[in-house]
Structures are given as C-alpha cells and as structure tokens.
Amino acid sequence: MRAVIFNDNGQILMVQEKKDGGFSLPGGWADLYDSPTEATIREAEEEAGAKIKITGIVALLHRTPYKTPLSVPEYALVFKADFLGFVKAHDHEIIQVRWVDPLRLPKLSDKVTKVEMDRIIDAVLNNRTIFD
C-alpha cells in the first residue's frame, strides 16, 4: 500500500528511507485483517507522521517485473490522498519527510523504480487509474 499525498502547492510527500537513503511514497505492507485504506492511512502516519484522507485509487500495480532479485509476486495498491496535517514524528526507519515537486523527484529508494514513479505521477496528474 502506498499513498500519493498532496499539499495545497501541488507537491507530494515523500519519505527518505534509512535502509538505502532514497525516497519513496509513504506506505508498506498491510497488516493481517487491515483493509487497504486502513493500512495506507496507518502507514502514512507511521512513516511520515501524516494524517491523510484517501480520495481515490491511482494504481493497482503488478510489481513483480520491476523487482530485483525476483522473490515473491507482489502487487501494490496506490491511493491518492489529501494531507490533513502532521500528527507525530516520522518512523525510526525514515531519515526525513519532505515535500517535493512531482516533476522533480529526488533519488529514489530501491523500493520503487523510476518507471513505476513516472507512471504513478502521470496517472495522478492526468486523473487516470493504472490497472496492471
């Protein structure tokens, strides 16, 4: 589960991963019995300290072709969300939380490829949904 979280200036919220120093969208694995929206809201708060409101689905991505090394099949559900405010400090796995211009992304984490991010950003900016 991932969230593309916008502020009033059209920037997206990204987190810098401690594991590799790259940036990704806030998100993570769904816990057992979580709904997709519950998991995404929880992960945004844990990773970025952000309270969000889910406003739509951006993508259902088949991530397996982008993974190296190939381990287990993986699908990612990406939601569009509005930013409601920061409610706590970011997670211990995160170096920093930063607003970025969606057309000028920082160095990305190994958790996401440039191709995937470009597709996600394009879908959001053009009000489309990706189904893989």
Furthest C-alpha separation in the chain: 39
Helix (H) or strand (E) holding 131: strand 130-131
**Model confidence, pTM:** 0.90
Burial class of residue 113, CB neighbours in 10 A (0-12, 13-18, 19+): middle
Q: Which of 47-51, 67-71, 100-104, 127-131 has the lowest average pLDDT?
A: 67-71
Give, in order, the Cα–Cα distances in Å from 69 to each of 18, 22, 111, 113, 126.
20, 18, 12, 13, 32
Confidence label for 66 from pLDDT (cuts 50, 70 and 90): low
pLDDT at 69 over 70: no
